[in-house]
Structure 1
Amino acid sequence: MSTVGLVVTHRRYVPYAHAHYGGSLVDGAYTLGLFGDVATEVAIVGDGDEGLLAGYSEVRFLAPVQAGDVLEASCEVTRVGTRSRTLRCWADVVARAVPERGASAAAVLDPPLRVVEATATLVVPLAGTTERE
């Protein structure tokens, strides 16, 4: 069973093919998709099942995500119920393209830039069962 304090983190490069808006901006759903991937690993590590991300009770977009960013998405278990887990999710840009220096120039951001925060609910099967009820 998952424990409070379990943290899982994924890193992913944001390809230019995902830019949908001027300035190489990427839609907010991109980061929410990453949270879904991280939440799946939280369920696997903590409960031995992929679980299901049931929804978000809060999402805050704090800064833009751009093509050429390296995003670090994390989820922490903050509450454990019988079948549900409350997750604190956040995403940081840890590196970003710097096109004014050259077509392939990039820089590590120190400190990282927090771009999204969310609270999510993850649902897993009852311990000892193999089917979702």
Structure 2
Amino acid sequence: MSEEDTALKAIEQVVAAVQRTQREKDAEGFLALFHPDALWTTAHGKVLIGFDAIADFTRSVLPGASWDGEVTYDVVHTQFLRPDVAAVKVRQLYTDAEGRPESEGAPLYVMTRGGDGRWLLTACQNTQVRAA
């Protein structure tokens, strides 16, 4: 397996962990995916700079989040900006209890690979997709 293929697989595992922690409403598991100097913009435009701001927000909203069905996160494109930096476009889909689409997001995750080889969420923008 090439180095790029290995990186792609690791990035997909991070996105799968985002999905799992969101479904389980696991704030601490979600926060473990972030770089200490990360920044995050929510789907509604709230800007969170630094891990502490992201943690405060996540701990206040994720445990009480509610939806009737499932949420899925799928990597739709990865662009390596450098070997240790990737821009990752994700499709986020919320479905109702019967599996019908309810809402969609189009997050962009800029991820960085640390010295330990681990990929982390570093600069992220979650964008709500509006129906045309």
**Greater fraction strand:** 1
What TM bracket, shorter-length normalisation? 0.3 to 0.5
Using the size of structure 2 for normalisation, the TM-score is: 0.41
Using the size of structure 1 for normalisation, the TM-score is: 0.41
Asked which structure has the greater CA Rg, the reply is 1
